Amino acid sequence: MAEEQREKLQDGESKSRPIRFIDAGRVPALRSQAIYHALAYAKHPETPDTIVLCEPTQPYVCTGFFQPPAREVNLERCAELGIPVIRRETGGGTVLIDEGQMFVQWIFHPANLPARTDERFVLFCESLIRTYRTFGIKATFHAPNDVQVRGRKIVGTGAAAIGEAQVVTGNFIFEFDFGRMADLLKVPDQRFRLLYLEGMKRYMSSFRQELGHLPERAEVKKRYVEQVAGLLGRPLRRAAFGESEKQKIAELEQRLADPEWVFEGTQPQAAAEKTDERIVKIQADVFLAFSRFGPASQPLYIYLQMKKGRIDRLHIEGETGMTETRCRAFENFLRQVELKEDVLHELISDYFALHEVQSCMSPAQWAEAIMKLKKMKK
DSSP string, 93-144: --EEE-TTEEEEEEEE-GGGS-SSHHHHHHHHHHHHHHHHHHTT---EEETT
Specify whether domain 2-262 bears CATH 3.30.365.10: no
Question: Tell me, what DSSP letter sits at residue 58?
Answer: S
Going from N- to C-terminal start, the domains of the chain cover 2-262, 285-375
Query: How far is residue 19's CA from residue 15's CA, in Å, rounded to a whole number?
Result: 9
Query: How far is residue 193's CA from residue 174's CA, in Å, rounded to a whole number?
Result: 23
Output phi, psi for 129, to 5 deg: -60, -45
Strands (E), the chain: 19-27, 50-56, 60-63, 85-87, 95-97, 101-108, 140-142, 146-149, 152-155, 158-162, 165-173, 236-238, 277-283, 286-293, 300-307, 310-318
Question: Per the omega criterion (within 30 degrees of 0), is the bond before 363 cis?
Answer: no
pTM over 0.85? The answer is yes
User: What CATH number belongs to 285-375?
Assistant: 3.30.390.50
Return the CA Rg of the chain.
23
Query: How far is residue 251's CA from residue 256's CA, in Å, rounded to a whole number?
Result: 9
Output phi, psi for 279, to 5 deg: -140, 140
Output phi, psi for 257, to 5 deg: -90, -10
The per-residue pLDDT string of the chain (378 residues; one tens digit each, 9 = 90 and over) reads 555 555 555 454 456 789 999 999 999 999 999 999 999 999 999 999 999 999 999 999 999 988 889 999 999 999 999 999 999 998 888 999 999 999 999 999 999 999 999 999 999 999 999 999 999 999 999 999 999 999 999 998 999 999 999 999 999 999 999 999 999 999 999 999 999 999 999 999 999 999 999 999 999 999 999 999 999 999 999 999 999 999 999 999 999 999 999 998 555 554 444 578 999 999 999 999 999 998 888 899 999 999 999 999 999 999 999 999 999 999 999 999 999 999 999 999 999 999 999 999 999 999 999 999 999 987
Burial of 149 (0-12, 13-18, 19+ CB in 10 A): buried
Cβ pair 171, 155 in contact under 8 A: yes
